[in-house]
Chain A
Amino acid sequence: MDRLLTEIGLFAPAVVFNIYFAAASIPLGFVMAVFLALGKNSTNPLISRLSRGYIYAFRGSPLFIQFFMVYSLALSFNVGVWKPLGISWFVLHPLFIGPLVLVLNTAAYTAEIFYGALRAVPRGEVEAARAYGMSRRQQFRHVIWPNLIRLAWPAYTNEVVFLFHATAIVYFALPVIGQQKDLMITAKELFERDYNAFLHFSVAALYFLAVSLVVFFLFGLVYQRLMRHLPATPGMRFAPKWIR
């Protein structure tokens, strides 16, 4: 029992990195996803094609490869672009490029969720808004967006949990700076010392599970708030789905 507690203590600094990677990429990924979803739904063929292609490419290829590719690509621009701009130390830092790749990836998955929700927004409500003489901006702000976010929220919650799980492979693909190690690297290094696979990997799994539960709880609160106008608020359960 003592051993377990020390072990949990050992992992505490590591989980910060996983949380950081997820927290840093969620807001930007969200915003980018909204634009991509609107782009995919756009009547302009060029914008629609580009958004469609982007979403398809980043959902259709492994995150692991995306990490390697973006890092080596960024590296090849270093001498020509980042160095002269003086942002080299920053751009190639795993704490920047990690969230960057995660944003690129999660934006594609989230955009697909938002696009699905966008198509499901009741047509009648939009038509009513138009009949009221609302501008397109007003229609989006007051009718489409509130519907969209309510429809998409449960699936988006899943996506956020998946994003958190995806932070597990960041340091398998990027260089490690000093003692900046996440849960997986910590578990792997401890395992390589004493071969206790059950202890180390279980503790790492516990951390992932615990944070996932917290995410579900917090996003559940938001969902209840989003649905507060309904007589009976539908609850959200801890049930990661196969959506991704």
Chain B
Amino acid sequence: MMDDVNFWLGYLTNGKHLTWYASFQFTIFAAVVGGSLAVVFGLIGATLKNSRFWPLRLIGSTYSSIVRGVPDVLFFLFFPLAFEQGVEWVMASQVCTPDTIAAQSAAWPPCKEANWFLGTPEYLILASVSLGLVYGAFATNVIHGAMRSVPRGQLEAARAYGMTARQVLWRIHIRQMWIYALPGLSNVWMLIVKATSLLSLLQIADIVLWADRLGAPNFLPAVGLVHEDWRWRYYLVLFVFYILVTLVSERAFAALMRRAGRGILVEAR
């Protein structure tokens, strides 16, 4: 009995499993950075949509409807690739000479010198930015709606106090907007958390990839413990993990709402 417990403890804490546990950092990093960027892009998008200048308004609404019109996974794959190629294209215009371009046999980049190495850190950052861009489009809508929900009277009062348009925006409008935006932003956050499961598609050794590797059947004692297909057990762990994250996030947002709602009439919420 004791031996069994020790065996399983040993198995679940071998280096391979420890690497799996450590890989949760990628998921958390992507969620936190992606979430923060989504709010930033959402604020920018909503400001554009509220702009008095119609081309800016057009940019704002095009951004939010195009990105939401295609699957998140498509944009998630496309953006890092496109960004890499864009950087390489700019670099190529600086460093490539006709000789080096002629020497290049592959289809891309234009010349060897313009190549940009992408490892896990770079992919992780690009993945977070694309999460931010995709869900920023959703946040744009949420924040845009919330800004329109701020009672007109408050803005008029601020203007009457002699505040400039910029002051009204930053000191009153954006600060008062959060209480209306929080329920929607909580939804966006849940979407981002779930989208972090896609990291392995960008060659990041994340929790999903490790679950597959750990659970795959093994026949060779030289490789490690010989076992049959255990993948569903590992995926079940991830399934539960994500549900727990959702649960904790809900609690956190509820607390945040209570805090943001202090001093505001119940009807206004």
Contacts and interface: CB of A to CB of B under 8 A. Distances in A.
12 contacts: A56-B246, A59-B246, A65-B238, A68-B208, A72-B231, A75-B229, A169-B198, A191-B81, A197-B81, A201-B82, A242-B187, A242-B191
Interface residues of A, number: 42
B201 interface: yes
A169 B195 CA distance: 11
A184 interface: yes
A241 B69 CA distance: 10
Given A65-B235, A195-B108, A197-B81, A239 B229 contact: no
A60 B138 contact: no
A8 B191 CA distance: 31
Interface stretch (A30-38, A126-134, A202-210): A202-210
Residues of A contacting B: mostly: helix
Interface residues on B, range: 35 or more
A187 B78 CA distance: 10
A208 B71 contact: yes
Nearest to B185: A242
A165 interface: yes
A60 B247 contact: yes
Nearest to B83: A197
A62 B195 contact: yes
Contacts of B211: 68
A166 B71 CA distance: 7
Interface string A69-100: 10011011000000000000000000000000
Interface of A: 56-57, 59-66, 68-69, 72-73, 75-76, 165-166, 168-169, 172, 184, 187-188, 191, 194-195, 197-198, 201, 204-205, 208-209, 212, 238-244
Given A194-B107, A239-B65, A242-B142, A64 B71 contact: no
A66 B191 CA distance: 15
A64 B236 contact: no
B256 interface: no
Contacts of A166: 71
B42 to A, nearest CB: 10
A75 B228 CA distance: 12
Q: Give the most central of A57, A64, A184: most B CB within 10 Å.
A: A64
Contacts of A63: 194
B72 interface: yes
Contacts of B47: none
A165 B246 CA distance: 22
Contacts of B243: 56-57, 60-61
Interface string B138-178: 11011000000000000000000000000000000000000
B68 A61 contact: no
B231 A68 contact: yes
Contacts of A242: 138-139, 141-142, 184, 187-188, 191
B77 interface: yes
A168 B232 contact: no
A209 B141 CA distance: 19
B195 A165 contact: no
Contacts of A239: 65
Q: Give the most central of B68, B81, B138, B238: most A CB within 10 Å.
A: B68
B215 interface: yes
A96 B56 CA distance: 46
Given A65-B208, A195-B108, A197-B85, A204 B74 contact: yes
A194 B66 CA distance: 25
Nearest to B233: A72
B141 A69 contact: no
Nearest to A241: B141
Nearest to A200: B78
A65 to B, nearest CB: 5
Contacts of B82: 197-198, 201
B197 A65 contact: yes
Contacts of B188: 242
Q: Give the most central of A56, A61, A239: most B CB within 10 Å.
A: A61
Nearest to A56: B243
A172 B201 contact: yes
B113 interface: no
B81 to A, nearest CB: 4
Contacts of A169: 71, 73, 198
A214 to B, nearest CB: 12
Contacts of B235: 65, 68-69, 72
A60 B250 CA distance: 10
A165 B71 contact: yes
